[in-house]
Amino acid sequence: MQITFLSFDGTSYTVDADEGMTAMEAAINNGIDGIEGDCGGNCNCATCHVFVDPKWSQQVGEASPMEEALLASRSDLAENSRLACQINLVPELDGLVLQMPESQFI
Amino acid sequence: MSDAGVVIVGAGLAGATVATGLAQAGYSGTITLIGEEAYAPYQRPPLSKGVINGEIGVDALLVKPESYYAQKQIQLIKGCRVQSIQAEECRVRLDDGEQLSYSSLVLSTGSRPRDLPIKGVGLKHVFSLRGIDDAQAIKDALPEKGRLVIIGAGYVGLELAASCVKQGLDVTVLERASRVMERSASPQVSEYYQSMHEAAGVKVVCNVNVSALQGEHQVMAVEAEDGLTWPADVVVIGIGAVANTELAQKAGLKCDDGIVIDDQCRSSHANIFAAGDCTRQIHALLQTSLRLESVQNATAQARMIVAQIMNKPAPRSEVPWFWSDQFDIRLQIAGIVRPDYTSMLRGDPSSGSFSVLHMMGDRLQALEAINSPMDFTLGKRLIGEQIPVNTDSIIDESIPLYPQPVMPKSG
């Protein structure tokens, strides 16, 4: 399956991912800059923040209370905010588009 | 002016974050990242949890895939020790005699498990837990339903205990202090964790001074000063960590249980920076000297160094935070818990979700959140802003921790 990550400057990266991975793992494994994942994908640090393309929000679903609490720490929180480590790549998400916030680029 | 590049000594999370951060920021010189271990930089927190349980393989621990470093023109040298630093010449010497020049040097040498100076620690099946190889060795040594004795009830010891008791092992934790997690948690939280461990079948014994490990070749038992013994197939010693400062000390850098760095992460030598477990720094928000062993400290200091080298604005200082996962309980700590703070309970421990707040007068200084992620996030903000709060409303669970109701001005 394929996932597209959009950089804040509009650059687009489409990467191959395996079912069962998280969107964070797909980004890290493909060396995408802009997804940090300091805690290793443990839903602990909120450095893999992404904005879900509105077309995909339904399929991606809602954040858990733990994730929601971490997202609340982000100053760039938006309605379509999620943590990439909490998006499990199920087959229905083939083609998913995620935008990465500027703050995660050093 | 030619740039000799950045040399980073220590390829843990801090070192890796400096290297990848510089590459992402477009640093034009060479970036060399040198690590002692045989692995590319990896995440250590899962070692006491998913790795021991066999749920996570080594590849899943990597901070970046190994190919990333070459792609970004980061020279990653594994299995290599730096012998010495010639600070005046801006050079390091590797253990094979090679010398590397730098314009900036970053020391991210980490910490190592504290030694327990007693008889028998050299026996087979006695371990500490710091790296992938340690986790693998412990896993391989543990017989099914075997007896594991853990010396030290800190995070590593308790996380390991929780992982192993779940696998059906017979687990005993011996602690010298009068309670578990004594160094970092409040008595209320210690008590809660001890009871959780006991309920899961872990034997927790406090006030024990371990005096020897018994056995011929392989460890057989743990002996305490008072003569009590605990039979063991495997012993893991987890009594804290010591900063790796030897290289810095030899080079004449100021050290004091950690390489002393300023708020820009510079050591006493202007073009030598340091980050992570090996550092001691006056925390910009808390204004107190700390040596922190945490993921957040490692990455925050690393990003500060990237900003300094790239001449970019410094990232904002954050309240220190930590986490520990044991069983299905998540502990999140914000700030530094100190015994001189007044502690207050928010929520009911019997519900499985509560927080302990630590106050200095009317200001929140630290907070321990047990399965209370929103308290953690909002409490961290409250600690950072140091707003005076009403101590009645702050323990009222029906009111979010932030923003707190405005306090009436008193005469």
Reported as a single tens digit per residue, the pLDDT across B292-321 is 999 999 999 999 999 999 999 999 999 999
The answer, for A45 touching chain B at a CB cutoff of 8 Å, is: yes
Mutation choice for A interface testing from B18, B66, B295 by most A CBs within 10 A: B295
Considering only the beta carbons, identify the residue of B67, B303, B374 that sits closest to A69: B374
The answer, for B376 touching chain A at a CB cutoff of 8 Å, is: yes
* Cβ pair B306:A106 closer than 8 A: yes
Q: What is the pLDDT of residue B197?
A: 98
Considering only the beta carbons, identify the residue of A29, A31, A40 that sits closest to B45: A40
* Cβ pair A38:B295 closer than 8 A: yes
Q: Which residues of chain A have pLDDT under 50?
A: none
* Cβ pair B21:A33 closer than 8 A: no
Please tell me the distance from the alpha carbon of residue B59 to that of residue B354, in angstroms, as a whole number: 35
Taking a C-beta distance cutoff of 8 angstroms, is the pair B43, B13 a contact? yes
Residue numbers in B near A31 (CB within 8 A): 64-65, 67-68, 71-72
Q: What is the pLDDT of residue B271?
A: 97
Chain B residue with minimum CA distance to A25? B60
Chain B residue with minimum CA distance to A69? B374
Q: What is the pLDDT of residue A93?
A: 97
pLDDT in tens, B223-233: 999 999 999 99
Taking a C-beta distance cutoff of 8 angstroms, is the pair B164, B52 a contact? yes
- What amino acid occupies position A15? V
| Mean per-residue pLDDT over chain A, rounded | 94
ipTM of the complex: 0.92
Beta carbons within 10 angstroms of residue A68's beta carbon: 18
Mutation choice for A interface testing from B6, B13, B17, B24 by most A CBs within 10 A: B24
Query: Residue B278 burial by CB count (10 A; 0-12/13-18/19+): exposed, middle or buried?
Result: buried
Residue numbers in A near B374 (CB within 8 A): 65, 68-69, 72
Residues in chain B: 411
* Cβ pair B381:A39 closer than 8 A: no
Q: Which two tokens stand for residue B235?
A: 């012993």
Per-residue pLDDT of chain B (411 residues; tens, 9 = 90+): 457 899 999 999 999 999 999 999 999 999 999 999 999 999 999 999 999 988 998 889 999 999 999 999 999 999 999 999 999 999 999 999 999 999 999 999 999 999 999 999 999 999 999 999 999 999 999 999 999 999 999 999 999 999 999 999 999 999 999 999 999 999 999 999 999 999 999 999 999 999 999 999 999 999 999 999 999 999 999 999 999 999 999 999 999 999 999 999 999 999 999 999 999 999 999 999 999 999 999 999 999 999 999 999 999 999 999 999 999 999 999 999 999 999 999 999 999 999 999 999 999 999 999 999 999 999 999 999 999 999 999 999 999 999 888 766 554
Please tell me the distance from the alpha carbon of residue B307 to that of residue B59, in angstroms, as a whole number: 29
Q: Where are the alpha helices (DSSP H) in B231-281?
A: 246-250
Nearest to B32 by CA among B16, B48, B43: B16
Taking a C-beta distance cutoff of 8 angstroms, is the pair B52, B158 a contact? no
Strands, sheet with B353-360, edge to edge from the N-terminal-most edge strand: B321-326, B329-334, B363-370, B353-360, B342-348
Considering only the beta carbons, identify the residue of A28, A68, A72 that sits closest to B64: A28
